[in-house]
Every structure is written in structure tokens, then in C-alpha cells.
Structure 1
């Protein structure tokens, strides 16, 4: 797979800036032609949702049965990535893309998955650490809102915050789960750290968005003045 090239047509609808974008897009370009025809884009969305259910279940099983069940969450994140990353790409590859249908479904499923994962962590956490799960979901929701507003303001859709995107977040959480298996209780402090980083990123992205919004306001005012001359 080292010689696999990126099929740029598959990624024309969005700009990616995340640090893993190049190997990720190469891997997706490798996988897309190999997806059986009987698996539809909606079917892949369902696979991604199943991965989120696995992640939520891994937290519950990890708390009430055995800590090693958290490793199931790592498998769940891969399945979630597989379905979430390939559902839209397979539609483009097969010339069956539905821009607004796919966009709407993607946002709804992302939010449902985020809530499920956060809920799983709330089940797993103890005492005041349960609030951290709520904070994490809220911060990720804030990031999703920023992404949608950025799309509205700039007409360009991006799901990344600089070099960090959904794939990087999945990898980070998988590492956190692995650490928790060997050092029980560490996850609570690591999640607090992730929340702090997300908060800073969201503040920076909010400021950038407001600058973009102000610039567009000025452009539209200038355009109206030109029309009235």
C-alpha cells in the first residue's frame, strides 16, 4: 500500500488540514474501490454508528465486568472511523453523492455518536469526574457548531481545527483507553487535559470565525454600496 496514490476527486468537497490527512486519504483511496457493491453509503453510516455503540458498551463493560473491555473501544473507534470516513467517499466514487442529504446525515450521526461516547464515559467515571464527560461532549458540540458556522460564513466546509481533526481525536482517545487499561484511573485526568486543550482550540477558532464574519459583513456592505451607485 506504500505506493498507493490519493484519489483527489474523492476529497474535492472539503479541505483537510489535519496532520494525518495524507496517510488517511491514501488509505481511504485504497479501501474505496474494494468496498463490495452491496454495501451502500448509508450502510457504511450504519457501520460507523455500530462502532460508536461498541465504544459506549466498552465503557460500561469495563466498569462492571473487567477493565480489559476498554480495548473493545479501540476496535469500536476503528469501525467508527471506517464507516464515517468511507460513507461519503463511496458515494463520490460511485457518482451517487447527495450533497445536502449526506451533509445533514453526517452531522446528525456525528452528534449522536459524540453523545453516546460521552454517555459511556459518564457510566465509567466515578464521583465528580462524571461531569468531565458532560464537559467533553459540550466542547465537541461547540467545535461542531464552529465548523457549521465557518461553512456558512466562508462557503468552505472543513472539519479540522488546524492540524487536529476527528481522526487525530480518535487516535488520542484510543491511546487514553490503552493507558487506562494499564493504569486504572488515569483516564479521568487525561480527559480533563483533553477538555482543556479543546477549550483553548475552540476559543481560538471562535475568534478566527468572528474575524471571518466581520470581513464578510464588510464585503457585503461594500457590495451593496456598489449596487446603489
Structure 2
């Protein structure tokens, strides 16, 4: 008695699709300083030593923002440490703004990696910044937490909008990261003397409490305005035919 092996046909396995080589979105920056900033960054990127790469700059951006948070936190003991904040913010601008520019100028782009890492770093930096403000004694912790929540919500909306519109917006109402750094640097210098402002029906309150509430309201307004605009745009583009 013999046994004959029968070949069983096997369906070919389709090769797994490779991830898209590029991030399918365009960058949009209509902030007040965007045009000037772009020219400066490109000029710096063309002159930067090849030994300094985008990842080094991303690391610099993160470390400097962690330093900003630490300086704010330590200012509760030594207010003069706030003079470090503008310097650290300048380093943060250099690293955070230049990393992508260097990659584009050198044609060494890794769009998905860069997009992901850059924004994870931004979130770490935001947590450090607002934690430092909460520990500084210059801002009520609940206001600092409100700012962090508003920031994370706004960033989440930007990421969702980027996914569905393929446009990555870097600014709202003419304000982008660079303008916000300038405002924060000026506020840190003013904070050395622990200034207060008069609020009707309340009296004098710390400057950063008022500034924090205004900033949280501004971020929340930008979040709502963008969410409504994007939802209307998508509704027009995807109308249901009855």
C-alpha cells in the first residue's frame, strides 16, 4: 500500500504595503515673523557644520525647554534665575526651529520620524514649562494646569486637522511658536520683581495669573475656531447626496 502526497495549492500572500515614504502634508505658517524667520533659518542651516545634525538640534530644543521649566520652578527660591529664561528660550528656538530646516536644506528628510519625534518633544517641553510655572509661586497651579490642558487639546486638534486636511498649521491668529517664546521671555523678565496688576472687583493679583488666564482663553478660542472651521470644510467636501 502506497501513500501519494497531494500538493495543496496555497494562495499567494500579498506583500505588506510599505509605509508612505513621505508625510503627506504641507506646512503652513502665517505668523507675524514667519517670513523673516524662514530666511534666517535657511541661512543658518546652510552654514551649520555637517557634524551637527537634526537630531542634535531636536535634543537641544528639548533640553533647553526642560531648563526653562526648571528656571521657573527654582525662581521661587531665587527670582534672578528668571534671567536665564530668555537665553534658554533662544536655544530652544535654535534647536526646535532649525532641526527640520537643516533636514530640508541637506535633503535628509525623514518626514514621519521628524513629525512624530518633534511633537512628542513638544509635549514633553510643555509639561516641563507648565509644571515649572506651577512650582514657581508666580502662577496658581490650577491656572498652570488649565494652560497645559488647553495646550494639549489644541495640539490634538492640530494633529487631527493635519490628518484630514493634509495641511499642518503652525500658527493661529498670527501667533506661532516664535511669537509665543518672545512673549514668554518678556514675561519672565517682568516676573523678577513679582509684579501684580489691578483687576476690577478683585484687587491686585499676580501678573502671571492674569496672563495665564488670558493665554488659556486664547488657546481655547483658537481650538474652538479651528474645530468649527475644519468641520465645516469637511462637511462641504463630503456632502451626502440624497
TM-score calculated relative to the size of structure 2: 0.79
More strand by share: 2
Superimposed CA distance per residue, residues 162-198 of structure 1 (whole angstroms, 9 cap, x where no aligned partner) = 20111111100100001111x2144943353343244
Does the alignment pair 1:49 with 2:62?
yes
Q: Name 2:46's counterpart in structure 1.
A: 33
Instruction: Give per-residue Cα distances to partners, 1:99-135, cap 9 Å, x unaligned.
Output: 1110001110000000001111111126x71222111
Which is further off, 98-107 or 194-203? 194-203
User: 1:93: which partner in 2?
Assistant: 105
Q: What residue is the counterpart of 1:9 in the other structure?
A: none
Question: Partner residue of 2:96?
Answer: 84
Would you tell me which structure has more helix in proportion to its own residues?
1
Query: Could you tell me how far apart the structure 2 residues matched to 1:205 and 1:60 are?
Result: 28
CA separation in 1, counterparts of 2:228 and 2:147? 23
* Matched residue, 2:145: 134
Q: Which of 5, 12, 17 does residue 30 from structure 2 map onto? A: 17
Q: Secondary structure at the match of 1:157?
A: strand
Report the TM-score, using the length of structure 1 for normalisation. Answer: 0.83
Once residues 194 and 94 of structure 2 are traced to their aligned partners in structure 1, the CA distance between those partners, rounded to angstroms, is 28
Residue 184 of structure 1: which of 190, 194, 201 is its match? 194
Does residue 193 of the first structure (1) align with residue 206 of the second (2)?
no
CA distance in 1, matches of 2:95, 2:229: 35
RMSD of Structure 2 on Structure 1 (CA): 2.2
Determine the C-alpha separation between the residues in 1 that align with 2:229 and 2:151: 21
8 Å CA contact retained: 2:140, 2:209:
no
Unaligned runs of 5+ in 1: 1-11
The answer to whether residue 186 in structure 2 is matched with residue 175 in structure 1 is yes
Give the gaps of 5 or more residues in structure 2: 1-24, 197-204
Judged with a 3 Å threshold, the aligned counterparts in structure 2 of structure 1 residues 206 and 34 are, in CA distance, closer, same or farther, namely same
Q: Secondary structure at the match of 1:162?
A: coil
Distance 1:169 1:156 in 2: 21
Q: State the 4+ residue runs in structure 1 displaced beyond 3 angstroms.
A: 185-188
Contact 2:57 2:95 in 1 (8 A): yes
Higher mean alpha-carbon deviation, 139-148 vs 71-80, is at: 139-148
Aligned equivalent of 2:127? 115
